[in-house]
């Protein structure tokens, strides 16, 4: 009985509570709507974009924005608006997939560390220490070189680099829960260890994790763009925004629109994710709950 009660209160209701708070936050909702809208637009892009993403117009190279080409064209005469819309599929999902991957792995490792404590915890945390004693960008650059270029390889590089952070975050919140009474109660009725971890501790550590994930997403997006910009990461013909910026750099003076629009696209998405992340953080903060 105690089992089910805890589950509902700490599982679904936790999410419901955050959601309820979040809905009141106009800025956060704006962020969420912008981001979702971007995602929908990106995935529906093939239906509405005026030009193919590799369609080259030899007479309109580096053309400034106009009625025919809203965001202008690039050096190969491709429509930048179409490319940005289509490229969103890669750039926007990058942050999400990276965070889901790294947190998925982080959850398992962090849960193990947090639950068992002792030497297991110690070992895992020391390994995390090692990874976290390098600047994240350094680790990502080296990982990118090892894994090679490409969309998924870049995600993998970013995700691996992000695992120690999510492990640490999850463990911290698990530690708080470990001493809680309900855990003792579960142990006393002979719940299995994995069951305690996954059906009790995890749901209860849900909200700090959610905050970390929503904040991490925007960071991963910027990092991915930075890596593409210095020539690591995503390669053409994928119209990733960071890669578009990297290619456009040499045209910065003759065709500034080539660099402005992808930059704005990144900035808006990161802004939306930040608004959402702030909102989730506030919503999850018990101090701010009324």
User: Which of 49, 183, 266, 284 lies at the binding interface for other proteins (CB under 8 A)?
Assistant: 266
| 12 Cα distance to chain centroid | 23
Q: Is 231 in the site for other proteins (CB under 8 A)?
A: yes
Nearer Cβ to other proteins, position 36 or 137? 137
**Least Å distance between CB 134 and other proteins?**
5
Nearer Cβ to other proteins, position 44 or 267? 267
Q: Is 44 in the site for other proteins (CB under 8 A)?
A: no
Q: Please say whether the beta carbons of 77 and 138 come within 8 A.
A: no
Q: Is 245 in the site for other proteins (CB under 8 A)?
A: yes
Contact positions with other proteins (CB under 8 A) in 135-194: 135-138, 141-143, 145-146, 148-149
79 - beta bridge partners?
73
**Least Å distance between CB 267 and other proteins?**
5
User: How far is Cα 119 from Cα 209, in angstroms, rounded to an integer?
Assistant: 24
Q: Is 259 in the site for other proteins (CB under 8 A)?
A: yes
Distances (CA, A) of 245 to 84, 230, 234, 238: 11, 10, 12, 12
Residues that bind other proteins (CB under 8 A): 54-56, 58, 61, 75-77, 126-127, 129-131, 133-138, 141-143, 145-146, 148-149, 218, 222, 225-226, 229-232, 235-237, 245, 247, 249-254, 256, 259, 263, 266-268, 270-271, 274-275, 278
């Amino acid at each position: 009985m105690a089992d089910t009660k805890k589950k509902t209160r700490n599982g679904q209701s936790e999410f419901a509570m955050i959601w309820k708070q979040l809905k009141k936050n106009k800025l956060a909702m704006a962020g969420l709507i912008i981001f979702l809208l971007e995602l929908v637009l990106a995935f529906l892009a093939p239906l509405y974009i005026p030009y193919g993403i590799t369609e080259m117009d030899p007479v309109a190279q580096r053309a400034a924005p106009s009625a025919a080409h809203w965001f202008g064209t690039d050096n190969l005469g491709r429509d930048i608006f179409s490319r940005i819309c289509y490229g969103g599929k890669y750039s926007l999902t990058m942050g999400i997939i990276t965070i889901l991957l790294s947190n998925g792995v982080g959850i398992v490792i962090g849960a193990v560390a947090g639950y068992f404590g002792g030497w297991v915890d110690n070992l895992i945390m020391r390994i995390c220490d090692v990874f976290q004693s390098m600047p994240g960008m350094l680790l990502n650059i080296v990982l990118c070189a090892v894994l090679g270029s490409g969309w998924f390889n870049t995600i993998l590089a970013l995700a691996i680099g992000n695992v120690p952070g999510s492990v640490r975050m999850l463990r911290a919140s698990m530690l708080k829960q470990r001493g809680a009474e309900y855990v003792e109660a579960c142990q006393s009725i002979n719940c299995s260890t994995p069951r305690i971890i996954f059906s009790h501790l995890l749901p209860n550590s849900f909200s700090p994790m959610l905050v970390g994930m929503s904040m991490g997403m925007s960071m991963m997006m910027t990092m991915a763009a930075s890596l593409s910009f210095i020539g690591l990461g995503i390669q053409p013909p994928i119209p990733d925004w960071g890669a578009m910026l990297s290619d456009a750099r040499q045209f910065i003076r003759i065709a500034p629109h080539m660099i402005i629009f992808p930059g704005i696209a990144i900035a808006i998405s990161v802004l939306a994710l930040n608004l959402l992340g702030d909102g989730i953080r506030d919503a999850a903060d018990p101090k701010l709950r009324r």
